[in-house]
Amino acid sequence: MADLAEHQQDDGRRILFSAQKDEAPFLLEWIAYHKTIGFTDIILFSNNCSDGSDAAMDRLAAAGEIAHHRHSPPSDIAPQQNASRIAQEARLFAPDDWVMWLDIDEYFVINLGDGTLDALFAEAPPFNAFLAAWRIFGDGGNSTWPGRQISPAFTQAQADHEELFPYVKTLFKWSERIAHLDIHRPYFDEHVRPRRYPAISSTGDPVDRAFYRSGADRFNRVSKAGDWWKLAQVNHYLLRTPDMFNRKRERGRGNRPHVSGNDRHTNRFYKRMNKNEVEDRRILRFEEATTQELNRLHKLLED
């Protein structure tokens, strides 16, 4: 069994995991960006796509760019949880792999060094789990989708409010002591201890000890005050634009069973979450490199 105290700079695959449906306008750019910052493996699950994105993922998988798994979740099981179960049962993750679950509207932005995973591993305090806080981005005043996510069109985001403790997404080292992979974080068995499996948030501070034991919602969030986006953040393009928000509403919710419907993505939700309070341009440092990688992936699909 791997020693959970191993430092984060140890070798291992850097796996980006996601479950998606009908994300064709955004999928290739999301893949391109995360390859650019240093993820070595991308594992994607798709279910019942109607926009051709599953066929595109098949071609990328055949070219060795990603791994693609199709699944058909029962109507009473959330697609994301079904994908997580299949992935664990199939042992898609090995000890010492680094794993992060991001949705296609989430981009991991590292605010250290050159913005790559290497910079995070080299400059952050030692960790086996890194909880990166969401930063919600608004529509930037765009009424229709401009064609790219990493763009000066999408630099308006939420401000830092002391009363808000954002949700997180977690980059973590895989171990047989992980009982369950959730969209926000791993859940552990009873043997994991902070000393042997250090976890920090993007403030740079150790997480609350209850993180290791509790499934409470507040441990899916940054639970301490501070500069939540100091070391890194997850740019959450929750709305994108009104036309793309309508697509989101029609797709339904990945973390709820299909039979539950979608009562979340309403016009009221859009207005409440349309955060255009301050400018954050940090992801734009990778605009050119992402464009180059995106062009390469497009060419693979065209050949």
pLDDT at position 3 is 42
Residue 3: inside a domain, yes or no? no
Predicted TM-score of the model (pTM)? 0.93
Is residue 9 scored above 50 in pLDDT? yes
What is the pLDDT averaged over residues 48-59?
A: 95
pLDDT at position 2 is 42
Residue 62: inside a domain, yes or no? yes
How far apart CA 6 and CA 17 sit, in angstroms, is: 22
pLDDT at position 75 is 82
Q: Which tops the pLDDT comparison, 207 or 214?
A: 207
Using one digit for the tens of pLDDT, what is the confidence trace for 125-177?
999 999 999 999 999 999 999 999 999 999 999 998 766 778 999 999 999 88
Which residues neighbour 91 within 8 Å (Cβ) at sequence distance 6 or greater? none
Residue 284: inside a domain, yes or no? yes
Residue 178: inside a domain, yes or no? yes
Phi and psi dihedrals of 157, rounded to 5? -140, 180
What's the pLDDT band for 263 if we cut at 50, 70, 90? low
Return the closest-CA partner of residue 207 out of 140, 286, 128.
128
| Number of domain units in the chain | 1
Residue 138: inside a domain, yes or no? yes
Q: Which domain holds residue 68?
A: 14-302
pLDDT at position 206 is 93
Q: What is the mean pLDDT of the chain?
A: 90
pLDDT at position 6 is 47
pLDDT at position 19 is 96
Residue 7: inside a domain, yes or no? no
Residue 9: inside a domain, yes or no? no
Is residue 178 scored above 50 in pLDDT? yes
Q: Residue 29: which CATH number?
A: 3.90.550
Is residue 257 scored above 90 in pLDDT? no
Residue 104: inside a domain, yes or no? yes
